[in-house]
Structure 1
Amino acid sequence: MPKVLAVLGVGPGLGLSIARRFGGEGFTTALVSRTDARHADYRASLAGINALTYTADVTDEAQLRDVLVRITADAGQIDTVYFGPADATAGPGITPLTEAAAGTLRASFDSLVLPAARLVGTVLPVMLERGSGSLLFAGGLSGKYPMPMLGSLAPASAALRMYVLTLHAALREKGVHAGLLTIGGLVERGDIHRVFTAQDHGFPVGTLDPDDIADRAWSLYTERDAEAEFTAMAAV
């Protein structure tokens, strides 16, 4: 029976490229997004891959649990989860760190770190019982290097990074893998790329090819490494 990849927070950029990369290796891919407006296009672009689509807000705990149950019923036990719904266009947005009150920082944690923790709490017990599985997350380069232009997002990004890296260390002897894609730049074809290129944000950001990142995501999965870093920034 084919292994199952759940792509939670799929978009036309990285999420779709990861589905294509893993699907090319024989995985059944389950794509989850907030609306079904682009689902037909996603399935068409994954010709030759068994691609299922679902509608859910994966930052909502009840909807997350429900969609994972549906995926398991339709395709079988989930081997790998890619979680990438959080972005700079969602949640509280960016506030300069020198102006960010405690509530603003908490809102960033609520939108970045808590959904990841809820996912882990939902899928990890089954993976541990089975003794296999992989948890892949997308994070930002501001979680590793000081980047003042990302302001209030940076502390939450750092917390997400350390959460995943600590999970990796805690799980590596238990057959379950946790890994992080640390991304510094705009991922081409993605929604964030579209938003940023349509507006003047006052600082230059380079672009990254989502297919290249997806190739590294596959290597992260097969080699069971903790982190892969990508940067198109001039300096960090």
Structure 2
Amino acid sequence: MSHQPRGTLVVFGSGPLIGSHIASLFASRGFQQVILLARNAQHLEKEAEFVKSAASSSSTQVHTMTIDLLDTAGIKKTLTELDEHFSKMPLECVLYNAANVRESPMFSFPAEEMEKDWKIAVQSLYIVAGWAMPHLTQLASSAPGSSGKTTKTSSSSVPKPSFLVTCGSICKDPLPALFSLSSVKACQYSLVRSIDKVYRDKGVHCGLILVAGVVSHEAMSCNPKNIADKAWGLFEQEKGDWQIEVEIPE
């Protein structure tokens, strides 16, 4: 089955479960360029091969870049380098999938570690979103019909500028054993909804993928393949039907 060619997907926080499976599915559905970012270069190479094997075309480009989301200066440098990849295939979708998932025993968990969790899940997301929005709004403004003129264009051929973030139901119902992660996910949820209120009318679809359980290949619902399917469903929505979030039950 052929798919409408799409632009570039950039994944912040690629990994063997959610990140690579969403990237793999999006590559199989027509994205012409996928860029995976994470800390571990060796893991990235394996994930890149996984994505390439699923791509809808042999010409699909898959790149990897290392990034430390605790390093603000390094993030900004990487974002500048990313800009060089969009001359022929514009940025169409960002997936932010970075978080420090670990237990945080109440009051024995160091405050300094809470700050690290916040920097990865919230501060770096804020920096990435600020970089991405000009690219996405530019794509939105160039889409057929964006000027208000009526055009006979298939909805599948219209660009879908999107900013997707994996979150969790703990953003609404915190787990004390994971209070640090719960706290930063609540902040993340608020940030994405705030961005949506500013950029929805500018043609950018902001979406939250709320995963309610532990992710594993064996999980009934919270498995990487199902999460990827839900992410694609969120991305594919027509502008008049945009949802801000999709929840994947445990």
TM-score bracket for this pair, using the shorter chain length: 0.7 to 0.9
How much identity, in percent, do the aligned residues show? 26
Counterpart of 1:226 in structure 2: which amino acid?
I
| More displaced stretch, 146-155 vs 112-121 | 146-155
One-letter identity of the residue aligned with 1:44: E
Matches within 5 A, 1:56-205: 56-75=67-86, 76-89=89-102, 94-96=104-106, 105-131=114-140, 133-188=161-216
CA offsets 1:162-189 (integer angstroms, 9 cap, x no match): 2112222322111011111111212125
* Partner in structure 1 of residue 235 of structure 2: 221
Amino acid at match of 1:6: V
Q: Which runs of 5+ in 2 are unaligned?
A: 142-160
Counterpart code for 1:87: N
Question: How does 1:35-50 map onto structure 2 within 5 Å?
Answer: 35-46=40-51, 47-49=53-55, 50=60
Q: How far is 1:150 from its partner?
A: 1.8
Report the alpha carbon displacement of residue 206 of structure 1 after superposing the two structures with TM: 8.2
Q: Is the 8 A contact 1:188 1:207 kept in 2?
A: no
Task: Answer whether contact 1:186 1:206 (CA < 8 A) is retained.
Answer: no
Tell me which amino acid in the other structure corresponds to 1:54. Answer: M
Task: Give the superposition deviation at 1:44.
Answer: 2.4
Change (3 A) 1:68 1:26: farther
**CA pair 206-144 structure 1, distance change in 2 beyond 3 A:** farther
CA offset digits 1:129-153 (Å, max 9, x no partner): 4436211111121101142232233
Q: Work out which of the residue numbers 16, 25, 28 in structure 1 matches 2:29.
A: 25
Query: In angstroms, what is the RMSD of aligned CA positions?
Result: 2.6
Task: Say how many residue pairs are matched.
Answer: 214
Runs of at least 5 residues in structure 1 that lack an aligned partner in the other structure: 194-204
Structure 2: distance between partners of 1:174 and 1:111 = 27
Instruction: State the shift of 1:101 in Å.
Output: 8.0
- Structure 1 residues 56 and 101, CA gap change in structure 2 (3 angstroms): closer
For the residue of structure 2 that corresponds to 1:148, the secondary structure is: coil
Tell me, in whole angstroms, the C-alpha distance in 1 between the residues paired with 2:214 and 2:185: 16
SS in 2 for 1:186: coil
1:185 and 1:206 in contact (8 A); partners too: no
